[in-house]
């Protein structure tokens, strides 16, 4: 079920909560318009990507829970944990499924795999690029959540339709700025990424948001908060285990290369394709903390 009425400052959206009971929430009219636009774009065979940034505790996930719930309700569905992921591998799994055409995919803590270095150097990052490009026909709406926009790959910035930055003013949470002009998003990205600008930088202040407003607290209304935190912890722990495995592989590769063992020999010993060793070698070049421990290695890279 879904119903909407216009209030004095907000839209009153009535939909089902986590217990399947009707609840009415207040939603900023511009954000409601963004959600409706994503549906119109999907009807014309476009996919959608929304980026949400903000400091820890400013309410990024709170806002996205409300946005995802309303967006799913607008299309006759109900938000579930099938819409949420924290790891790149899980996101790729969701794009591979055949039962979630048009659905919203909320990627929380999306730094893992979506940063510039990750998308350029890791096999997971490469899979992510392929998934986002080749699965566009499924017309998902992606909502990616991260602290700072400069942490994203520029490829993702070019694909995004909307950037929402949430922030607090004094002790008041729930403020946001929305940018829906791609030229503004790219210019701000370059200022933050290349020129190391901050929100206090004069040039940043000259680029006005398309809209600014306030959002309410939607946390725990549509998804059980304890289950959310449990799943988040489980998935991020898996990511930490994978990072440790990657470090072990890089250290092992560094040791072997420093002993003049060829990439082909290492691939045969590890039972992997030579291309995988080449990918690891590319990553190794960026890991001075490992390379420095093998003085004879640097000329070989």
- Dump pLDDT digits (tens) for 152-205: 888 888 888 899 999 998 888 899 999 999 999 999 999 999 999 999 999 999
Look at residue 123 and tell me whether its pLDDT is greater than 90. no
The pLDDT-based confidence of 234 (bands split at 50, 70, 90) is: confident
The pLDDT-based confidence of 116 (bands split at 50, 70, 90) is: very low
The pLDDT-based confidence of 110 (bands split at 50, 70, 90) is: low
Burial level of 36, CB count in 10 A (0-12/13-18/19+)?
Answer: middle
- Dump pLDDT digits (tens) for 53-109: 999 889 999 999 999 999 999 999 999 998 999 888 888 888 888 888 889 999 987
Who's near 245: CB < 8 A, 6+ residues apart? none
Cα 31 to Cα 12: distance, rounded to the nearest angstrom: 12
Mean pLDDT (whole number) for 209-238: 90
The verdict on pTM exceeding 0.75 is yes
Q: Which residue has the higher pLDDT, 71 or 122?
A: 71
Looking at residue 222, what is its pLDDT?
96
Cα 218 to Cα 189: distance, rounded to the nearest angstrom: 28
Six token digits for residue 48: 């959608």
The pLDDT-based confidence of 121 (bands split at 50, 70, 90) is: very low
- Dump pLDDT digits (tens) for 7-26: 989 999 999 999 999 999 99
Percentage of residues in the chain having pLDDT higher than 90: 48
Looking at residue 191, what is its pLDDT?
96
- Sort residue 57 into left (φ over 0), alpha (ψ -120 to 50) or beta: left
Cα 136 to Cα 266: distance, rounded to the nearest angstrom: 37
Among 45-59, 110-124, 230-244, the range scoring the smallest mean pLDDT is 110-124
Residue found under tokens 């995802």: 68
């Amino acid at each position: 079920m879904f119903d909407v009425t216009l209030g004095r400052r907000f839209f009153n959206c009535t939909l089902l909560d986590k217990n399947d009971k009707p609840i009415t929430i207040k939603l900023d009219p511009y954000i409601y318009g963004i959600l409706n636009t994503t549906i119109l774009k999907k009807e014309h065979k476009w996919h959608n990507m929304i980026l949400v940034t903000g400091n820890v505790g400013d309410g990024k996930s709170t806002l996205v829970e409300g946005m995802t719930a309303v967006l799913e309700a607008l299309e006759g569905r109900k938000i579930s944990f099938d819409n949420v992921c924290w790891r790149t591998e899980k996101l790729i799994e969701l794009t591979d499924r055949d039962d979630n055409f048009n659905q919203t995919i909320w990627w929380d803590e999306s730094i893992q795999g979506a940063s510039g270095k990750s998308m350029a150097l890791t096999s997971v990052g490469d899979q992510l690029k392929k998934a986002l490009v080749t699965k566009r026909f499924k017309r998902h709406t992606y909502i990616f959540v991260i602290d700072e926009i400069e942490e994203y790959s520029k490829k993702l910035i070019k694909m995004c339709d909307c950037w929402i930055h949430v922030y607090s003013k004094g002790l008041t949470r729930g403020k946001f700025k929305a940018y829906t002009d791609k030229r503004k998003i790219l210019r701000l990205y370059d200022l933050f990424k290349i020129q190391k600008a901050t929100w206090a930088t004069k040039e940043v202040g000259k680029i006005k948001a398309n809209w600014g407003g306030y959002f309410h607290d939607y946390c725990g209304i549509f998804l059980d908060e304890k289950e959310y935190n449990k799943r988040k912890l489980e998935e991020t722990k898996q990511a930490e285990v994978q990072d440790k495995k990657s470090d072990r592989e890089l250290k092992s590769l560094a040791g072997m290369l420093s002993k003049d063992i060829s990439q082909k020999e290492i691939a045969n010993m590890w039972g992997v394709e030579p291309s995988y060793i080449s990918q690891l070698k590319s990553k190794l070049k960026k890991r001075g903390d490992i390379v420095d421990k093998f003085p004879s290695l640097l000329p070989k890279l």
